[in-house]
Amino acid sequence: MSKAFTRESETEEDDDEALPSLPAGGRNYITPQGYARLRSELLQLIDDERPKVVEVVHWAASNGDRSENGDYLYGKKRLREIDRRIRFLTKRLEIAEVADPSLHHGHTQVFFGATVTYAEESGAERTITIVGIDEADSLKGQVSWISPIARSLLKSQEGDVVKLATPAGVQEIEVLAVKYPAPGDAAVPG
């Protein structure tokens, strides 16, 4: 069969991003800032990047032989990547449930969006912020609400000692402080 009549990769079209999947039947909680960031990325891909790549592919296709045309081949590959990311972002934003952490401002119980400072058994103190799975960034101290540490901390309060299952065994951690952004600090998505 001619290569022209086959797909380049059977799984390529359905392959979602390498982000964690949602729990079965779970909700896709996200902060207003995270929602705005994903929406901004989606609009940038649709309005700016995709049209530019389409233009390059159209120009490269008009140059003749496409089988050895690097601009055409790379452009088509990049177009597939952009389209895959657009589909992923669209799906995630459709099921997103925006949860404004500033509603809990002043509370000491841990809910979605809390910034929690805790002490490990070793005495080391760490601070994390519990956010949605599509916005978690460990380099910024942000963890997904479905992560083991977040699940251990959720619904605890300042002063509570909770158990955290780690690869090295169960560890006790103490909640030292719980903070939420002040109302008005979180932008509401549009």
Domain boundaries, the chain: 27-98, 101-179
Q: d(Cα 180, Cα 185) in Å, to the nearest integer? A: 10
DSSP state of 157: B
The predicted pLDDT at position 19 comes to: 53
> Which residues share a beta bridge with 143?
130
Stretch (H or E) spanning 56:
helix 50-61
Assigned CATH topology for domain 101-179:
Chitinase A; domain 3 (3.10.50)
The predicted pLDDT at position 23 comes to: 63
Number of continuous H segments (helices) and E segments (strands) in the chain: 4, 7
Top-level CATH class of 27-98?
Answer: mainly alpha
The predicted pLDDT at position 5 comes to: 46
Q: Which residues lie closer than 8 Å to 148 by C-beta, 6 or more apart? A: 164, 165, 166
* pLDDT tens, the chain, 190 aa long: 444 444 444 444 444 445 556 666 667 899 999 999 999 999 999 999 999 999 988 888 888 777 778 888 899 999 999 999 999 999 999 999 999 999 888 889 999 999 999 999 888 999 999 999 999 998 999 999 999 999 999 999 999 999 998 888 899 999 999 999 988 754 444 3
Q: d(Cα 88, Cα 51) in Å, to the nearest integer? A: 18
Helix (H, G, I), strand (E, B) or coil at 68: coil
The predicted pLDDT at position 65 comes to: 74
Q: d(Cα 78, Cα 55) in Å, to the nearest integer? A: 12
Output the CA–CA distances (angstroms, integers) from residue 42 to 29, 31, 45, 157, in the order listed: 18, 17, 5, 37
The predicted pLDDT at position 189 comes to: 42
pTM value is 0.75
